[in-house]
């Protein structure tokens, strides 16, 4: 229990302290009008209160990710707490803050355009494709579960459930943000927070002890911690999907100082939710072997239902059902909305994208493959979500580092986690079965070699910018 409480405290302290460091490095300007006012269009750009934006951001980035990912990551044992805490504070929240604030600073632009601005058009093209693929995979992976549960508790079939879900997706994607998302997301966000808080209280006052920290790998399948844990627990530590969602809220912010509460704060809140569910999964099933058996029997949804119903009674059962239906849907609808926004930026130079009919066509273009993929095996989809998600996150961190380097500010706050995540994804792609499926040692050697090469490129860029500032007679301290 000591480790669990210390981890919660560290996340709170991290928000109270390190978020202010990140904000100072970015340098906010509340005198500058935000896109919510300069581009107000009654659709995506419109002012919204910061607390509502925070809850919308939490639902956008969370869904079932911090619950299902935490359940799977808990198989490694309490070592998962370390990744959740430090990954969230120094990588995930930094990632989310810069993805949101850079979008805000550049007129509410989408993530691929930010990549193009700071890492080049070649990378922008690749990320455009990868971002759309990621959002299609995420929406498809999170849609089958709600449709199956709808079929179980109503007379409707699985296909009918899917149709209902996707009709909602399309409405949420093409209607003004204040019509559906702005009205119901704050309520759903409150449900997510209440659910996690109730589970935490039940754990703290329960009879079973919450396991304390051990660096031992307790995974029953003996899967290696590096880099699998960092991909298994993405939501709650760092997730590239968040960079595709942050521009949605960036287009509604009233002033730049709200960014720390909205982007950094929502990520820390997600980290706390992830920590609670990881602790619940380890504690309730009396260790990782019991947890593995529970996952094998009923999947992550079954684990959530059993934990909620047992710890919270009837209320827990109702919350579990609401969670398994509502939370993944709130991920899918904003994934479709973000896809529509990205595609709009891609084709804006070729057609009049202000027409509602164009938005509808673009939404249908993404919804069709989402619908098809939602009919296939969830676990198969989730394997590919993992590595594409963390590749996108890594590129966003490098984008932030490049921006800070260009502005002669403290680029290390993004560069160090970017290097760490580069090592994760380079190793994972060669080792994982959905990648090259190579021997673990060989994958480690290749992964760290590629990371070292990218590190050298980073060092060369640092020296290059230093030389340029010296030639121009400007010091870093003067610029920052």
Lowest-pLDDT range of 78-82, 192-196, 207-211: 192-196
Question: Please, which residues have CB within 8 angstroms of residue 103's CB and are 6 or more apart in sequence?
Answer: 109, 110, 111, 114, 246, 247, 250, 251
**pLDDT class for 475, splitting at 50, 70, 90?**
very low
Q: Give which of 123, 79, 331, 321 is closest to 214, Cα–Cα.
A: 79
Residue 251: Cβ within 10 Å count:
27
Q: Which helix (H) or strand (E) holds 9?
A: helix 2-26
pLDDT > 80? residue 102: yes
The Cα–Cα gap between 375 and 371 comes to: 7
pLDDT at 357: 64
Q: Are 275 and 213 in contact (CB under 8 A)?
A: no
Burial class of residue 352, CB neighbours in 10 A (0-12, 13-18, 19+):
exposed
The torsion angles phi and psi of 207, rounded to 5 degrees, stand at: -80, -35
Rounded mean pLDDT, 252-271:
97
Our measurement of the distance from residue 419's CA atom to the centroid of its chain's CA atoms, rounded to an integer in Å, reads: 18
Q: Are 365 and 220 in contact (CB under 8 A)?
A: no
The Cα–Cα gap between 22 and 79 comes to: 26
**Is the N-terminal amide bond of 37 cis, ω within 30° of 0?**
no
Q: Which pLDDT tens digit goes with each residue over 450-471?
A: 999 999 999 999 999 888 877 7
The Cα–Cα gap between 276 and 4 comes to: 8
The Cα–Cα gap between 121 and 193 comes to: 40
The structure tokens 């502005």 sit at: 407
Cα–Cα distances in angstroms (integers) from residue 238 to residues 23, 159, 243, 360, 476, in the given order: 18, 33, 10, 31, 29
pLDDT at 143: 79
pLDDT at 349: 56
Q: Give which of 73, 71, 146, 64 is closest to 300, Cα–Cα.
A: 71
Task: Give the domain ranges of the chain.
Answer: 2-379
The C-alpha torsion from 428 through 236 and 223 to 76, rounded to 10°, is 160
The structure tokens 């949420």 sit at: 172
The Cα–Cα gap between 453 and 441 comes to: 19
Hey, what are 327's tokens? 């939370």
Mean pLDDT estimate for the chain: 88
Cα–Cα distances in angstroms (integers) from residue 188 to residues 62, 97, 220, in the given order: 11, 22, 35
Q: Which pLDDT tens digit goes with each residue over 328-339?
A: 788 888 888 888
Hey, what are 347's tokens? 């084709």
Rounded mean pLDDT, 399-407:
96
pLDDT > 50? residue 356: yes
Alpha helices in 111-120 (DSSP H): 111-119
Q: Are 377 and 387 in contact (CB under 8 A)?
A: no
**Between residues 318 and 415, the one the model is more confident about:** 415
Angle in degrees, CA 377, 162, 358, rounded to 5: 110
**pLDDT class for 247, splitting at 50, 70, 90?**
very high
Query: 2-379 has which fold?
Result: Amino acid/polyamine transporter I (1.20.1740)
**Between residues 377 and 99, the one the model is more confident about:** 99
163-186 burial string, b = 16+ CB within 10 Å, else e? ebbbeebbebbbeebeebbbeebb
The Cα–Cα gap between 162 and 367 comes to: 12
pLDDT at 473: 62
């Amino acid at each position: 229990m000591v480790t669990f409480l210390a981890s919660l405290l560290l996340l709170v302290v991290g928000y109270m302290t390190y978020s202010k460091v990140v904000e100072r490095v970015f340098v906010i300007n509340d005198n500058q009008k935000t896109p919510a006012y300069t581009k107000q269009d009654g659709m995506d750009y419109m002012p919204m209160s910061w607390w509502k934006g925070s809850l919308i951001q939490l639902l956008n980035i969370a869904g079932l990710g911090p619950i299902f990912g935490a359940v799977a990551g808990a198989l490694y044992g309490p070592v998962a707490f370390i990744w959740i805490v430090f990954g969230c504070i120094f990588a995930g929240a930094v990632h989310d803050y810069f993805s949101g604030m850079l979008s805000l600073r550049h007129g509410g632009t989408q993530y691929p355009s930010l990549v193009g601005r700071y890492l080049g058009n070649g990378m922008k093209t690749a990320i455009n494709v990868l971002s759309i693929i990621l959002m299609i995979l995420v929406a498809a992976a999170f849609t089958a579960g709600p449709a199956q549960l709808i079929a179980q508790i109503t007379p409707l079939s699985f296909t009918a459930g899917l149709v209902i879900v996707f009709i909602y997706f399309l409405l949420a994607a093409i209607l003004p943000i204040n019509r559906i998302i702005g009205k119901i997301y704050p309520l759903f966000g409150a449900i997510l927070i209440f659910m996690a808080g109730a589970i935490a209280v039940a754990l703290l006052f329960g009879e079973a002890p919450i396991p304390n920290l051990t660096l031992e790998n307790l995974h029953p399948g003996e899967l290696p911690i590096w880099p699998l844990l960092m991909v298994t627990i993405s939501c709650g530590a760092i997730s590239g999907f968040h960079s595709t969602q942050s521009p949605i809220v960036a287009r509604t912010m009233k002033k730049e100082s709200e960014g720390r509460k909205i982007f950094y704060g929502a990520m820390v809140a997600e980290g706390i939710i992830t920590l609670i569910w990881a602790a619940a999964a380890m504690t309730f099933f009396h260790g990782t072997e019991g947890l593995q058996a529970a996952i094998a029997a009923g999947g992550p949804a079954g684990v959530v239902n059993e934990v909620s119903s047992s710890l919270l009674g009837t209320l827990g059962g109702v919350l579990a059902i609401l969670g398994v239906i509502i939370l993944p849907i709130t991920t899918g609808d904003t994934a479709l909305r973000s896809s529509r926004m990205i595609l709009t930026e891609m084709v804006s130079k070729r057609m009049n994208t202000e027409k509602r009919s164009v938005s509808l066509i673009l939404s249908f273009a993404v919804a069709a493959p989402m619908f098809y993929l939602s009919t296939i095996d969830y676990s198969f989809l989730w394997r590919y979500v993992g590595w594409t998600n963390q590749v996108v996150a890594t590129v966003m961190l490098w984008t932030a580092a490049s921006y800070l380097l260009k502005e002669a500010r403290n680029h290390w706050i993004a560069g160090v986690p970017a290097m760490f995540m580069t090592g994760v994804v380079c190793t994972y792609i060669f080792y994982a079965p959905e990648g090259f499926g190579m021997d673990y040692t060989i994958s480690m050697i290749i992964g760290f070699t590629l990371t070292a090469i990218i590190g050298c490129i980073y060092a060369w860029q640092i020296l290059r910018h230093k030389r340029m500032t010296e030639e121009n007679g400007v010091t870093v301290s003067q610029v920052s």
